[in-house]
Amino acid sequence: MTLELTVVDAFTDRPFSGNPAAICFVDEFPNDARMQTVAAEMNLAETAFVVERGEGRYDLRWFSPKVEVDLCGHATLATTHILGRPAAFRTRSGELVCSVTPDGFIEMDFPADPPSEAELPDGTGLGGVRWFGRGKFDGLAELDSAEAVRTMVPDLAGIERLGGRALIVTATGDRTGIDFVSRVFAPATGVPEDPVTGSAHCTLAEYWGGRLGLHAMTGEQASPRGGIVTMRRAGERVLLGGRAVTVSTVSLLV
């Protein structure tokens, strides 16, 4: 079964930055084992499979190199970028509606995921933690400074022992126009460091929105590739925004 995939760098306006996702449009979903094998072959943070259902509606599933995930921002943004028009996606996290401005800026309506304070377990290798909590998917640790986030050398084994999908580390921003910085580590899903994690900003928006008293924010994910995510809090939803660039196409012949 030949598959055609398009690789898009998401949450960036420059190629070879942001977070790459491989997007595969199919008439119907292949079996789960096939989709997981393709995701492992692509070896990107996410490979998404998309089935059109008509009238701007699609079914959407996301796979990391190891597992199917419940929510993914950057691959949803990448899919909308390829479509180039508003779309509604039926997913494991409910319906996600995305809009596109004439200049290509994409905004995605995602579920908010406020974190609750929790005790930081021993053996994580984390230092200088001001606050620790957990959202539905991820742990979140506020560190002393943006510099501490930028220079952190993660103990991936310790992070994996935390459980959950990933660990978000964050601190207030250190440059004009950036409200906070973050990095995301997800070794349990086969992604040691995720370049830019849209869904993590469903938690970050609620945490920093409450701390800073803001409803609209801009976050920088300070991974080596880097990326920018805008957020607008809307009750139980968060509107995540960003840009994307198509960088390649891939044909899998087997």
Which pLDDT score is estimated for 194? Answer: 97
Q: Please check whether residues 235 and 120 belong to one and the same domain.
A: yes
Q: Which residues contact 178 (CB under 8 A, 6 or more apart)?
A: 218, 219, 220
Domain CATH code at residue 145: 3.10.310.10
Q: At residue 18, does pLDDT exceed 80?
A: yes
Number of domains within the chain? 2
Q: Please check whether residues 224 and 132 belong to one and the same domain.
A: yes
Range of the domain at 182: 116-239
Q: Please name which of 60, 66, 42, 41 lies closest in space to residue 98, comparing C-alpha atoms.
A: 60
**Residue whose structure tokens are 């306006």:** 13
Residues noted as catalytic: 46
Q: Please check whether residues 83 and 147 belong to one and the same domain.
A: no
Which pLDDT score is estimated for 123? Answer: 81
Q: Please check whether residues 128 and 46 belong to one and the same domain.
A: no
Q: At residue 38, does pLDDT exceed 90?
A: yes
Q: Please state the rounded mean pLDDT for residues 67-82.
A: 98
Interval 77-128: pLDDT, tens: 999 999 999 999 999 999 999 999 999 999 999 999 999 999 998 888 888 9
**Residue whose structure tokens are 């996606």:** 89
Q: Please check whether residues 9 and 102 belong to one and the same domain.
A: yes
Q: Please state the rounded mean pLDDT for residues 176-185.
A: 98
Q: Please check whether residues 165 and 83 belong to one and the same domain.
A: no
Q: Please name which of 178, 236, 235 lies closest in space to residue 212, comparing C-alpha atoms.
A: 178
Mean of per-residue pLDDT scores for the chain: 97
- What CA–CA distance (Å, rounded) separates 235 from 30? 36
